[in-house]
Amino acid sequence: MRILLQFPEGLKKDALAKALELENEGHEVFLSSSACYGACDLPLEEANSLRIDKLIHFGHAQFIRRELPFEVEYVEFHIKVDVGKLSGALPSLMGKKKIALVTTIQHVPQLGEMKEFLEGHGKEVLIGTGKLACYPGQVLGCDSGAALSVASGADAILYVGDGKFHPTGIRSELPVFALNPYSGECVQLNLEIEKIGKRRRGAMLRALECERFAILLSTKPGQFALNLAQEAKRKLEGEGLTAQILVSNEFNPLSIANFREFECIINTACVRLAEDAEMFGGPILNASDLDEFLELRRATNKD
Ligand code: SF4
């Protein structure tokens, strides 16, 4: 069998061992060396050029559910942590009874244990379900549904995991805490989440001055949203604005900046791209914000 292996950056160190293991089983093996940003990001170009029989994507849970001309296997990566470290969150959760608990794929298998730990400390734990994530309680950078779907019944949201990328994607008025399960450190992230919200509103205000829009359409299989991009183009043109769709697998800020006529970017790719507005040098709005922006624009024009 001809197999292509794909690893996210943090797991590329394990690639050689896995490749040799499969070769010893008699398979023909190739390693994708493209950057890999998430479960949405399968290396279609390499896969098609090589006419592979199978792609093995390491590190993430299943994301792409549509048929591809080759078999796709997602191999999840789990890290067992000391659930006792959740005690680091208890002072922050004092006075908060109902906790929406979320984590990343690395720790999903221990979600039940984490729930029990918190329940043992008098908490009621709510575990919601996202739209794109594979498991209840699992968040992705682009899918906070596991938190938001139960937020109305919760007093606080607790994210267990390393880093801030996932929990700062949780747009909620509730207190959002991130507990690092290695150090036991717990931090509240509402100020950072608010900052992202403010930047989004700032981008909208700056976009009011713009006439020419570039719409980003990514060919990554989990981000490709042609209909959304075409709809955005129609909506912008319907308002008398100029819009063109820019298509690429990955968006390089410099290549985009060279399209000098465009003043504003509408993003249909990974929603977290909009947080890199400084790199792109102009306002970026996610396609999901377009209706709100156009309404604001109409209201502003009337005044
Ligand atoms: S779309 Fe963005 S946030 Fe979602 S899985 Fe892909 S890289 Fe991660």
Ligand 1 proximity of 77 Cβ (cutoff 6 Å): no
Q: Which numbered atom of ligand 1 lies nearest the CA of 37? A: 7
Q: Which numbered atom of ligand 1 lies nearest the CA of 39? A: 5
Ligand 1 centre distance from Cα of residue 240 (Å): 32
Q: Whose CA is nearest to atom 1 of ligand 1?
A: 270
pLDDT recorded at residue 66: 83
Ligand 1 proximity of 142 Cβ (cutoff 6 Å): yes
pLDDT recorded at residue 276: 80
Ligand 1 centre distance from Cα of residue 298 (Å): 32
pLDDT recorded at residue 65: 80
Ligand 1 proximity of 140 Cβ (cutoff 6 Å): yes
Q: Select from 9, 138, 270 the residue to mutate for testing ligand 1; criterion: most ligand atoms less than 8 Å from CB.
A: 270
pLDDT recorded at residue 262: 95
Question: What tokens were used for 59?
Answer: 């590190």
- Three-class SS state of 126: strand
Whose tokens are 């102009």? That residue is 282
As a whole number of angstroms, the longest Cα–Cα distance in the chain is: 71
Work out the angle at residue 157's Cα, subtended by the Cα atoms of residues 153 and 158, and round it to the nearest 5 degrees: 140
pLDDT recorded at residue 101: 98
Task: Walk me through the domains of the chain, giving residue ranges and CATH numbers.
Answer: 2-76 (3.40.50.11840), 83-188 (3.40.50.11850), 204-302 (3.40.50.11860)
pLDDT recorded at residue 303: 52
CB 77 within 8 A of CB 11: yes
What whole-number distance in Å separates Cα of residue 244 and Cα of residue 240?
13
Closest residue by Cα to residue 251 from 230, 274, 285, 226: 274
pLDDT recorded at residue 279: 77
Ligand 1 centre distance from Cα of residue 26 (Å): 33
Structure pTM?
Answer: 0.92
Q: Which numbered atom of ligand 1 lies nearest the CA of 269? A: 1
Bridge partners for 285 per DSSP? 266
Rg (CA), the chain: 21
> What are the residues whose beta carbons fall under 8 Å from the beta carbon of 78, sequence distance 6 or more?
105, 106, 107, 108, 109
Q: Whose CA is nearest to atom 4 of ligand 1?
A: 142
Q: Which numbered atom of ligand 1 lies nearest the CA of 40? A: 6
pLDDT recorded at residue 277: 75
Ligand 1 centre distance from Cα of residue 57 (Å): 14
Bridge partners for 213 per DSSP? 243, 264
Ligand 1 proximity of 145 Cβ (cutoff 6 Å): no
Q: Whose CA is nearest to atom 2 of ligand 1?
A: 270
Q: Whose CA is nearest to atom 5 of ligand 1?
A: 38
Q: Whose CA is nearest to atom 3 of ligand 1?
A: 141
Tens of pLDDT along the chain (303 residues) come to 999 999 999 999 999 999 999 999 999 999 999 999 999 999 999 999 999 999 999 999 999 888 899 999 999 999 999 999 999 999 999 999 999 999 999 999 999 999 999 999 999 999 999 999 999 999 999 999 999 999 999 999 999 999 999 999 999 999 999 999 999 999 999 999 999 999 999 999 999 999 999 999 999 999 999 999 999 999 999 999 999 999 999 998 888 989 999 999 999 999 999 888 777 778 999 999 999 999 999 999 855
pLDDT recorded at residue 302: 54
What whole-number distance in Å separates Cα of residue 60 and Cα of residue 74?
6
Ligand 1 proximity of 216 Cβ (cutoff 6 Å): no
